Structure 1
């Protein structure tokens, strides 16, 4: 009979969450590398290059791939004959492992979990509690999957109760464009089909833990082998979702998803539950087995698994944030690559909510935003000699409702964030002759290397959501909404839908 000791299990959980914070799964790197080689869209290719370079840098530096180090999710398959040598419950042991991982002094991870979610939303400070899923299985071993899911991709989860005669493909193709780019494509779509509503959601999440193997299905199909219905559905969805032209970071391109994973389960005759959850470009999960012999030993991947890519900054237009004018901003073109230099403010949801409250009450703001740029970011705490930890962008649409008031009442000139803006924000940007710049989601460590100094200016109690001032040097961004309201997240996919259709005809 296998005996799992408390300390071994806790340390295994801690080691696993540290491991996935800086190591992408190798199958993801190989799939993204292949997509990068095939990509024809310059903007999408640039975004993929940044993600791949960032991934290698994170592996070398053992620092987080993404500043959103995720909510901890653990899948356990517990052998029915297994014995625990433990004082704590399984949930308590998992939470202690997560706590150790996220507060590790050599690689501190961002604590994003909030207690009292519908009330005070108070940060737990150590990313606990984890979300744990249990399954009792035959045998006496313990199978463990640890995953870190970022909010940008989790927020795009979808679930529908279709009629049995409805088309799953039609629903997916209608729904994916509504998800925007806040889930940081290219990534993976996970589908759960059948069961009950909650079972479908769990199936979708669990499907994302499987290896990327769509290329094997494609090879079998090319050889004329007979595929199962789920396998055929995966291939059909991969081709049709990519034909939408959404592309890397929503900029338009050939590859939106690297794989489509599906798990299904028997369901009621009157029902067809379908859930869809995306995994972003910061795909993070690891699988291991415990047999009672001690904690897990996770072997690091070889750096040779990463493609050798150098990021060329010579093609970008350098911008001095300390002296930039509205006239200069008006000359920037949609899709143009800029390299930001100078002082850049930060602020996201909680800071914006406070600022708007102060404006509504007629109070003076603690920061002068006139002719300044604000970066929507919640950085990881620095370690050792770092100025700041990984500091990639957060989803900009969450700030849309604040945008007009910020532009009109503070003199703010521009914003930097992740993914598209909604029409509400685009209209405000156009009316105020401002600009929105996009940084690449999933390239947080690369971005942090462009930050040469950092200090808190206001709202220090908000932690990573405080207002900082960064000194940046050649921070790469793309003009996503210009001062006339032209948006690349609208024009890019539309252009590439036409190109992909033409490629298919040729």
Structure 2
């Protein structure tokens, strides 16, 4: 048997990271299409349509599905009989693959990894290092799972050590209900039960790489306690009415994956890891014959649909002449098509603004009566003015709401997921509004951006303040000028009786 070399690993992992940036797994496309077909909530159905259209566009254009091209998660299972011909630590080898993939000239991916996590948090610039997990297993080959995990879903990871007599289902359902929409449903839940803290977390994350088979499982019936638990949790979560993007609907999870392991008699560790609507992973095997070959989905896997039908009655909004009176006329759930100039800014930019104000220094940009979009775009290629540019989770910006809305006069914010009660109160007090774009539709959103330039904080890279010129950018009113929230009304409407 020929040896498995460094180049086999580097070429395969780098190709896999590029591959998953553009292609949803085939089973995910089919599961999302089936969920879209049976969805009864117009808002959730529209959101799913955008996700599916974006997915097909990304595949055809070979550009990232989501602007958050994720941290590289690499799970390697090395057969004890495998012939290995490398002389460096596997971490170094895999990191070389990550650098190659994320620095690609033809499809650059957004570097999101920061060093010194509790200090300066400067960006490594190449998305290395990878999050690597290695196991020794039976056999004579190497199995590798490559996934890209975005911050929105990763940040919603939960862990608890329950009493051994507690209900895992109750804990998971209660936890998901409290998580909000920041993890970009509909997606997948990975659950690890037993083992230890670290074992449960690894099981939960690795379970996300398993094929989506909830429908087949339901058809044949569960054969194990894990399978019974999968269906129970899935049904209970979907009955919550959270729906796509938290807008209210009948599908919040497409599948629930459960792995278990023996544990201490006094403990019941449970880890919960969600995967968003930009679920991205691929599995391959190395046997010494060369790098892996990856097979993309077929165009027939996507349904034929046009999300624009749902926007034919949307209100057109001119951002350059927007008044507080017009903002006051918006209602939660209204569909808007934005045109004109808007600013961008997210975590690092908001921190920089806060620092400048604390030091009494002037700001480089006026925010008075402007719209700000929470986004960290991918670098453009070819004739693009900007790469994929979907929204980031808005709740991270809640701590800056008083500063931005009351202090600096921002009138409209655009992001994804819900806002906290204090931010909603600030919005209502100032007659502002909060709008959402669909998380997981970054390439689709970028098509509405006709011009882009950096206005301030260029050293922050993708977190710099840009000015975008947009035409017919699709958004939904999430919080209106009176504090009404679609993330409260939607799930309440679609929740099933207990």
Scaled by the length of structure 1, what TM-score is found? 0.97
CA distance in structure 2 between the partners assigned to 1:138 and 1:52 by the alignment: 39
The yes-or-no answer on 1:272 pairing with 2:307 is no
CA distance in structure 1 between the partners assigned to 2:55 and 2:39 by the alignment: 18
Q: Which residue of 2 aligns with 1:139?
A: 139
CA distance in structure 1 between the partners assigned to 2:339 and 2:106 by the alignment: 29
Work out whether residues 2 and 141 of structure 1, in 8 Å CA contact, stay in contact via their aligned partners in 2: no
Q: Which residue of 2 aligns with 1:371?
A: 369
Q: Which residue of 2 aligns with 1:402?
A: 400
Q: Deviations over 1:207-257 (max 9, x none)?
A: 101000010111013xxxx62111111111110000000000001000000
Work out whether residues 141 and 291 of structure 1, in 8 Å CA contact, stay in contact via their aligned partners in 2: yes
Q: Which residue of 1 aligns with 2:52?
A: 52
Work out whether residues 417 and 439 of structure 1, in 8 Å CA contact, stay in contact via their aligned partners in 2: yes
Work out whether residues 341 and 474 of structure 1, in 8 Å CA contact, stay in contact via their aligned partners in 2: yes
Work out whether residues 153 and 182 of structure 1, in 8 Å CA contact, stay in contact via their aligned partners in 2: yes
Shift of 1:2: 4.2
Q: Deviations over 1:67-126 (max 9, x none)?
A: 000000001110112222224321111111111000010000000000110111111100
Counterpart of 1:258 (choices 246, 254, 257) is: 254
Q: Which residue of 1 aligns with 2:446?
A: 448
Q: Which residue of 1 aligns with 2:3?
A: 3
Work out whether residues 182 and 395 of structure 1, in 8 Å CA contact, stay in contact via their aligned partners in 2: yes
Report the count of equivalent residues.
Answer: 496
CA distance in structure 2 between the partners assigned to 1:154 and 1:420 by the alignment: 17
Q: Which residue of 2 aligns with 1:91?
A: 91
CA distance in structure 1 between the partners assigned to 2:243 and 2:114 by the alignment: 32
CA distance in structure 2 between the partners assigned to 1:281 and 1:417 by the alignment: 16
Work out whether residues 160 and 274 of structure 1, in 8 Å CA contact, stay in contact via their aligned partners in 2: yes
Shift of 1:140: 1.4
CA distance in structure 1 between the partners assigned to 2:367 and 2:138 by the alignment: 61
18-27 or 134-143, larger mean C-alpha shift: 134-143
Work out whether residues 2 and 81 of structure 1, in 8 Å CA contact, stay in contact via their aligned partners in 2: no
Counterpart of 2:329 (choices 326, 331, 341) is: 331
249-258 or 168-177, larger mean C-alpha shift: 168-177
Q: Deviations over 1:286-315 (max 9, x none)?
A: 000011111111122111111111122322
Instruction: List alignment gaps of at least 5 residues for structure 2.
Output: none
Work out whether residues 388 and 451 of structure 1, in 8 Å CA contact, stay in contact via their aligned partners in 2: yes
Q: Which residue of 2 aligns with 1:295?
A: 291
Q: Deviations over 1:371-405 (max 9, x none)?
A: 11000000000011110000000000000010111
Work out whether residues 2 and 82 of structure 1, in 8 Å CA contact, stay in contact via their aligned partners in 2: no
Shift of 1:178: 1.5
CA distance in structure 2 between the partners assigned to 1:362 and 1:101 by the alignment: 42
CA distance in structure 1 between the partners assigned to 2:2 and 2:330 by the alignment: 64
Which stretches of structure 1, 4 residues or longer, exceed 6 Å deviation after superposition?
none
CA distance in structure 2 between the partners assigned to 1:305 and 1:414 by the alignment: 38
Shift of 1:491: 1.1
How do residues 152-163 of structure 1 correspond to structure 2 at under 5 angstroms?
152-163=152-163
Q: Which residue of 2 aligns with 1:340?
A: 338
CA distance in structure 2 between the partners assigned to 1:138 and 1:129 by the alignment: 28
Q: Which residue of 1 aligns with 2:236?
A: 240
The yes-or-no answer on 1:187 pairing with 2:187 is yes
Q: Which residue of 2 aligns with 1:358?
A: 356
The yes-or-no answer on 1:22 pairing with 2:4 is no
357-366 or 22-31, larger mean C-alpha shift: 357-366
Shift of 1:368: 1.1
Instruction: List alignment gaps of at least 5 residues for structure 1.
Output: none
Q: Which residue of 2 aligns with 1:105?
A: 105
